[in-house]
Amino acid sequence: MNKIEIAKEKFGKLLEEQLLRVEKMKQDKDFIDFTTLPVIKIGICGGDGIGPAITSQAQRILEFLLADEVKAGKVEFKVIDGLTIENRIAAGKAIPDDVLAELKECPVILKGPTTTPRAGDKVNIESANVAMRKELDLFANVRPVRIPEEEIDWTFYRENTEGAYTLGSKGFEVDEDLAVDFTVTTSDGTERIIRAAFDYARKNNKGKVTCVTKANIIKTTDGKFLNTFKEIAKEYPEIETDDWYIDIMTAKLIDPKRRKDFKVVVLPNLYGDIITDEAAEFQGGVGTAGSINMGKKYAMFEAIHGSAPRMVEEGRDKYADPCSIIRAASMLLAHIGHKDKAEKLDKALDICTQKEKRIKITGHSDGCTSAELADYIMETIKGL
C-alpha cells in the first residue's frame, strides 16, 4: 500500500468517528436544569502542576459558602485525584478510565489546570481539557470579561468540541515532507453553540451578538459557521448582529472606540482560545479569569491558565495565584442557583485584589500564599 492509500485509510477512520459523533449529537436533545437537582454532587479535580494548590483554596471557599447546603444534604463534594500528567502517561490516555468514571458521577466539576505534552515531548497524549469536553460533551466554553470603568462587558461563547482542536492529536505525516492536521465543523455542533449565545443575549438583555471567523479564507468550515450564524440570527430580530474576521477582531478589542460595542461574541474553538486570552488581559491577565465548559448534562468550571510546572519545581506552588479558579467557583455557584453567593464572592474578590489589597499575591515568597488570600476573601465575605 503506497503512502497516499495509507493516508486515505487514516482519513477514512477519522471521518467514521466524526459521523458517529454527529449521530450521537442528534439523539441527545435534553438539557439538565442544575438548579432543580435534589442533590448536587460537585467534583473537585485538582489536575497537576499548581492545580491542586489553587483548586483546594477554591474548594475551601465553596465549602464555606455552601455550608448550610452541605449540612442539609443538598450539596456533596467529591475530590477526584489522578488527572496528573504522570498518571495520564502511564495509562496512555488523556483521561485514565477510573478518573473518567469518577468525573461522570459529578454533573458539576471544578477543575484545576492540567499539563499538555507538547510536540517533541515524545508523548502523544491529547489535552485532558479537550478530552473532557468531548467525553462529557461540554460544547460551550463561556468566558466573561467585565470592566465597568472602561465600558467593557463581554461574554464569549467559544465552541468547545470541534474546529481545529477536536482532531488535534490525530493529524499525521503523509511522508517526511508533508504533515496534515484537520478542522471539523458540523451542523449540530455549530447550531447549538450559536443558539446558546443568542439565548444568553436574549435572557440577559445584551442586545448584540458578534460572530468571529476567517470565512474569507477558510471557506468551507468557517463559511458554514458564519452562514449558520446568519440563519439563526433571523430568529432573534430584536438582537443586533455583526461579524468580524479573527485577525481584525484581535485589533478591534484593543481599540478603545470600538471595543465597548462588543457584547456577546460567538466563535469557533481555536479563535475562541486566542481571543479570550487576549480579552482576559484587560482585567489583569489569564490568572484572573475563569470559565464555564457547559453541556446538556454536565458543567465544568476551570481556570483558563496553564499548570505552571516550573512553580512546583521551584517549591512556589503555595504562592500561586488562585484568583482564576476562584472566579470559576463563583460562576459555578451562579450556575447551580446561588447567584447571591456568587455575587458576594465576586465582590469580595474585587475588594481583596483591586481595592483594599491588604495583602498581595506575587507568585513568590515576597507575597502572600494562596491560602492566606483565600482566608482574606472569606473574612471579607463575612463582612458583606
Domains of the chain: 31-138+295-384 (3.40.718.10), 148-283 (3.40.718.10)
CB neighbour class for 127 (10 Å; exposed up to 12, middle 13-18, buried from 19): middle
For residue 201, how far is the Cα from the chain centroid? 19
| pLDDT band with cut points at 50, 70 and 90 for residue 11 | confident
Name, in order, each residue with C-beta under 8 angstroms of 196's C-beta and a sequence gap of 6 or more.
140, 157, 294
d(CA 320, CA 46): 14
Name, in order, each residue with C-beta under 8 angstroms of 41's C-beta and a sequence gap of 6 or more.
76, 77, 78, 105, 106, 107, 108
Grid cell listed for 56: 483546594
Question: Of 74-88, 162-176, 232-246, 352-366, which gets the smallest average pLDDT?
Answer: 162-176
Listed residue (143, 161, 160) closest to 152, CA to CA: 143
For residue 118, pLDDT beyond 80: no
Dump pLDDT digits (tens) for 190-206: 999 999 999 999 988 99
SS3 355: helix
Dump pLDDT digits (tens) for 254-305: 999 999 999 999 999 999 999 998 998 887 776 667 789 999 899 999 987 8
What is the helix (H) or strand (E) element at residue 295, kind and residue range? none
